[in-house]
Structure 1
Amino acid sequence: MPKPYPREFREDVVRVARGRDAGVPLRKIAADFGISETCLQNWMRQDDVEAGVKPGVTKS
């Protein structure tokens, strides 16, 4: 199993993805950072849970 990415890296990637220009697909952002689109979608979903935007289990 690969080592998890550092928290700071994940936060930066999610921030860039959320602030992307209209028309820029998530797969482009993911490719720019060397991760899969599914990985980025998972990070964004978990970020929503942590922020209380979506229901789910937080890490704390």
Structure 2
Amino acid sequence: MAIKITQLHHADIFGYIADFLEAAKLLGSLEKGEQLAFELVDFAQQAARDAANLPWDE
């Protein structure tokens, strides 16, 4: 069962996004890691978009 980004607390979401971007940075430094790095950045962008639609009054 997958967890949707909207099921997480916003502080956790930002932490995960930071982790995804750090992993993408490390993968981008590898010769064959560029494609996965781009996919992680795309995923992080979508997570940020989804998080922006969450109510912030929790």
Higher helix share: 2
Q: Who wins on radius of gyration, i.e. which is larger?
A: 2
TM over 0.5: no
TM range (shorter): 0.3 to 0.5
TM-score where L is the length of structure 2: 0.38
TM-score where L is the length of structure 1: 0.37
